Amino acid sequence: MSTEEAQLARSIEEYVMNEQNFGIDPRIFAILDDPESPKKEIEGTEKMMDVKIGVRLRSMAGSAYYGMPSRAKAVDFYDVILALGMQPAKVFIIAMALFSRLDAKHKRLEIESYAIAVFSRLIAEAMNMNDAAREKAELAGLFLQLGRVVIAMYEASRSIEIDASFVEANHRHFALKIIEKFDLPEFLAEVATEEHLLLARRGFSVSGVVTLAQCLVQRVIHEHGMLHIKSPMPETADNMEKTPGSVISDYFQLIGLGRFLRILPC
């Protein structure tokens, strides 16, 4: 690494370690990290975060993707957190806060991250992985490009352009810094820093599933400029049947990224 690159790396690391750059109230994490946190405190976290993040979490909790095809609305934010899970909710809050600081030039990173998360979960389900592995695959998929997101945030904040070779060489390092800073689960670091297609003794590991999802998502988005897929769809709008296409469509609409998804019924 050249002197100039080392200086840039130090500057980005200082940026990463400054909590003010992320706009996240650290009290939220103290509450979500404690399984004994009272209902009132969990309910109160909604007022500690950006309104848009709270709205998106409510939408996610009421989506078919999380098992609510009737679009049932959670009245209390406490129910939203329980529907998502306290630790997954923490991960989603951090991801959303980071994505909100991307400029238009790097919007694709957010689209890819959510798509990788969705397809990681779908692939894990198709492979009959247990619920814990499916959740890990989804969250690891969402955070896979975390280091690239941090570098893009720094670019936007300084109005500069960083060479792609620097991003490729250093994004895993910055992903680790974020994971350490917010005391996130260790499996996120394992997946974010893995450079190979990792197999388990009897099939794919969680990391391997995420790698598969990343490859297919990036190929599709590279070819079409958006997530462009073909899938069976329910025959009528009020059909309670769920298909992969309908679940993905519901999810992307509710998180506000529906315009970046196109589904061709088949």
Cα–Cα dist 49/67, whole Å: 25
Q: What are the angstrom distances between the C-alpha of 90 and each of 23, 33, 103, 165?
A: 14, 8, 23, 31
| pLDDT attached to residue 64 | 62
> Residue 81's pLDDT is what?
93
* Residue-level pLDDT at 17: 85
pLDDT of 251 = 83
Give residue 68's pLDDT: 53
Can you give the pTM of this predicted structure?
0.91
For the chain, residues with pLDDT lower than 70 are 19, 64-74, 237-240
- At 61 the pLDDT is 83
Q: Write phi, then psi, for 161 (nearest 5 degrees).
A: -125, 125
pLDDT at res. 239: 58
How high is the pLDDT of residue 70?
47
pLDDT for 254 equals: 81
Kindly report, residue by residue over 89-100, the tens digit of the pLDDT: 999 999 999 999
The pLDDT, as a whole number, for residue 19 is 67
| pLDDT for residue 108 | 93
